[in-house]
Every structure is written in C-alpha cells, then in structure tokens.
A and B are shown apart, each in its own frame.
Chain A
Amino acid sequence: MKPILIILGMMLVTYTPRLLPGLLMERFHPPAWFEKWLKNIPYAALGALIVPGIFAGETWLIGLVSGAVAVILSLLRVHIVLVMAGAVLAAYGVQVLF
C-alpha cells in the first residue's frame, strides 16, 4: 500500500471517532468497561511498540543500553526531547564501541 493511502486511512480512522460525539451528542453513552479498555490501549500499544522491537537491532545490547538511559532520564523527569536525545547518543555510543 502506498504511504499516502495509509495516511488517508489513518485520517479516516482518527477523525471518525473524534467526530461521532459531535454528531450524536447526548444520544451516546459508552459502558464503563469500554472506557476503561480505551484508557488502557495507549499503554498496551506503547508496550508492544517497545518490546521486542527495541532488541532487534544489530545487537540487543544497543536497545538495552539506550532503553535503560531512556528509563533513567524519564524517571528523573527530564523533558521528553532530552530523553530521546540521550537515548540516541547512547545508541550511537554503543554502535561506535562495539
């Protein structure tokens, strides 16, 4: 599939749920379990995006080191962009050293 079609598809599936409440207004009341499930989806998607992909590089060591740097920097409540920069530098360092 061409990237532009994928992006159009992404728009369709993103805008529709945003739009529906504006159209239906008060006639729509989702059950509580559904709301909970929706709230949990981003955590699940993030988990699936991190593991096992992060270990799939040239060597799993790169992912381990840069991932650990990201965890530590996030725990220190550093700005997200600096967390990313730190992890990229760590990955670059491991690449150079090994």
Chain B
Amino acid sequence: MSDNNKTVAKEIVRQLKAEKMVADEEIILESKIGDGTIRESDWKLVFEQQIRNAEKQAKSETE
C-alpha cells in the first residue's frame, strides 16, 4: 500500500534530521523517498548540503 511508503518515509526523514544526517530545512526529501523517485545524485546533494551547513555552523561558533 502506498501509505506504507509514506509512513516509513516520514519516519526516516524525522530520524535523519534528528541525527543531523540531512538539513532541517529539507522539505522534498520525504516525498521523494516515499514515492521512490530519489536518485543517487539527489542523495549526494542532500548530504553535501548538510555537510556545508555543519561547516558553516562550526565556523560561526568558532568566530
């Protein structure tokens, strides 16, 4: 059932955000995971964005 995918996608994104694996402002990730349209390159962009965010934050905290 499609609801299964939506439910699991929601929980996955919640956990990924909680574990700082993806950015909090990530909004389309859940639907892409849920409908199975996320691609390898999308995953990469998502992680790169979060790494950049973490670096920025670390930099601003140091300053």
Q: Do A and B come from one complex?
A: no
Q: Which residues of B contact A (CB under 8 A)?
A: none
Residues of A within 8 A of B (CB): none
